[in-house]
Amino acid sequence: MQYLNPEEVKEAQESLIRYCGEFSPFIAEKASGSYIYDKKGNAILDFTSGQMCSVFGHNHPKFIEILEKAGDSAIHLLSSILSPPVINLAKKLTSELPDSLTKCILLNTGSESNEVAIRMAKLVTGGFEIIGFSGSWHGMTAGAQSYTYSKTRKGYGPTMSGSLMIPAPYEYRCPIKHCNGSCDNTCLEVGMKMVDQQSVGAYAALIAEPLLSAAGIIELKPNYVKRLKELCDERGLLLIFDEAQTAMGRLGTTFAFERFDVVPDFLTLSKTLGGGLPLAAMVTTTEIEEECHKRGFVYMTSHVSDPFCASFGLAAFEILYEQELAKSASEKGLYLKGKLIQLQEKYECIGDVRGSGLLLGVEIVKDRETKIADDSLGQSICSRCLELGLNMNIVRMKEYGSVFRIAPPLTISKKEIDLGITMLDEAIHDCIK
């Protein structure tokens, strides 16, 4: 608890907008590997990889090397001027993807990458209706936010025209009260029929995370995605996979969609691609790119194709493959999930443990029979974890329970996983007694 300094944070709030509710009650002085440190050197084990971005651990040596040499090359250029890091990353990224995904653009954030995909989908189809999942999160910019159906919608006025929603396949809490623990795709069939009734006949795209994170770790299963693609094709909907959190090995494969027998029309990447630096990408087909180009496609921002950030994307692929981190995520994810299931067997308040690789969810309930979310207990556990030295993140939504999103760096050791589980165990014990 020595690193907790709410008074210092309160003082900082005098000049900062509270953009995320309340700030965490400590000041981070530095970070390295799986840990964050305060100015006294006290360590906090990070089970969130920063904002789910530092997938290779904080301050990876390869990234530090790039930072140290940054002055030897270009950092920023006019958007129309290309550089070797941009060209090389574009080649590397498209070479790692199926043959149909051949054209990419390099940007800064997940919101931007989704904006580009949506913009191109609208231009090439001539439609404007975009379907998203309940509980989804695709960004904070106007377009991406319009198809985000988490708790960030209320109070900001109208969203973009053509915003449509289908229920996410939340097996633990079936959205249509049909299934009990095993989705049979009925929610998908019903959801698509409902948006068909709402549609004005101007479909453009459907955007989906392979694993919905902000919705409380809801996985799309292979048979679900196969049917989803069939339904999209029937309607002329282009499919956008938003892999902000699931790419670069986190679910056990380089890209999460590799687990499906489906290739999207657009792939958006961010968070994990830069490993903690502001880098994003959108990849699509040659056919879509050519048609959009013919129709005058433009997406010019101040930092599109910046060489500095592109360098980190190249390093990210090197780290991923040299350290075999996708395989590591799969193995350590199974280990961590097993430990979480042991806690579930110990504590009645843990209603469900789910997820893949090193992106896992732990749902906190009042009791397992009613599955009533216990937001208060979840927040208390989260706060107690921080006091003990474990940084956790909790999703709290009435429709989606109270769920811990556990996403440690892929470089985390089993010893660090054990330490985190020990602190989580102690936090739950302290909060329920």
Query: Across residues 184-201, what is the average pLDDT?
Result: 96
> Could you give the CA distance from residue 309 to residue 313 in angstroms, rounded to a whole number?
7
- The one catalytic residue in 219, 245, 265, 384 is 245
Residues 121-148 pLDDT 10s: 999 999 999 999 999 999 999 999 999 9
Residues 289-305 pLDDT 10s: 999 999 999 999 999 99
Beta bridge partners of 352: 363
Q: Is residue 257 pLDDT above 90, yes or no?
A: yes
- The one catalytic residue in 229, 250, 354, 405 is 405
Looking at residue 1, what is its pLDDT? 58
- In sequence order, the 6+-apart residues with CB closer than 8 A to the CB of 64 are none
- Sheet of 266-269: strand order equals 103-107, 280-284, 266-269, 238-242, 203-208, 129-133, 163-166
Q: Is residue 281 pLDDT above 90, yes or no?
A: yes
Known active-site residue 137: yes
Query: Across residues 44-58, what is the average pLDDT?
Result: 97
Using left for φ > 0, alpha for ψ between -120 and 50, and beta otherwise, residue 389 falls in left
24 DSSP 8-state letter: P
Tell me the three state secondary structure of residue 322.
helix
Q: Is residue 94 pLDDT above 90, yes or no?
A: yes
Do 179 and 225 contact (CB within 8 A), yes or no?
A: no
- In sequence order, the 6+-apart residues with CB closer than 8 A to the CB of 106 are 86, 89, 90, 279, 280, 281, 304, 305, 306, 309, 310, 313
> Could you give the CA distance from residue 37 to residue 26 in angstroms, rounded to a whole number?
10
- The one catalytic residue in 115, 209, 243, 289 is 209
Known active-site residue 259: no
Looking at residue 210, what is its pLDDT? 97
Query: Across residues 251-276, what is the average pLDDT?
Result: 97
Do 236 and 203 contact (CB within 8 A), yes or no?
A: yes
**394 pLDDT tier (thresholds 50, 70, 90):** very high
Residue position matching structure tokens 């095993």? 182
**203 pLDDT tier (thresholds 50, 70, 90):** very high
Residues 217-245 pLDDT 10s: 999 999 999 999 999 999 999 999 999 99
Looking at residue 181, what is its pLDDT? 74
Looking at residue 10, what is its pLDDT? 85
Looking at residue 5, what is its pLDDT? 75
Residues 345-377 pLDDT 10s: 999 999 999 999 999 999 999 999 999 999 999
Looking at residue 2, what is its pLDDT? 63
**Average pLDDT along the chain:** 94
Q: Is residue 108 pLDDT above 80, yes or no?
A: yes
Query: Across residues 73-85, what is the average pLDDT?
Result: 94
Known active-site residue 294: no
- The one catalytic residue in 112, 122, 137, 339 is 137
- The one catalytic residue in 271, 332, 337, 384 is 271
Domain boundaries, the chain: 73-322
Known active-site residue 306: no
- The one catalytic residue in 46, 115, 219, 242 is 242
Looking at residue 404, what is its pLDDT? 97
Percent of the chain with pLDDT strictly greater than 90: 87
Known active-site residue 405: yes
Strands 280-284 and 103-107: antiparallel
**53 pLDDT tier (thresholds 50, 70, 90):** very high
Q: Is residue 104 pLDDT above 70, yes or no?
A: yes
Q: Is residue 401 pLDDT above 80, yes or no?
A: no
CATH 3.30.420.40 given to domain 73-322: no
Task: Tell the burial category of 340 from Cβ atoms under 10 Å away from its Cβ (0-12, 13-18, 19+).
Answer: buried
Q: Which of 330, 320, 291, 362 is nearest to 123 (CA)?
A: 291
- In sequence order, the 6+-apart residues with CB closer than 8 A to the CB of 403 are 216, 217, 361, 362, 363, 364, 378, 394, 395
Encode burial over 50-75: b for 16+ CB neighbours within 10 A, e otherwise.
bebbbbbbbebebbeebeeeeeeeee
Looking at residue 150, what is its pLDDT? 87
Known active-site residue 245: yes
> Could you give the CA distance from residue 238 to residue 25 in angstroms, rounded to a whole number?
43
Q: Which of 28, 12, 5, 8 is nearest to 391 (CA)?
A: 28
Give the least confident one: 182-186, 193-197, 291-295: 182-186
The secondary element (H helix, E strand) that includes residue 48 is none
Query: Across residues 324-329, what is the average pLDDT?
Result: 98
DSSP 239-258: EEEE-TTTTTTTTSSSSGGG
Residues 29-46 pLDDT 10s: 999 999 999 988 999 999
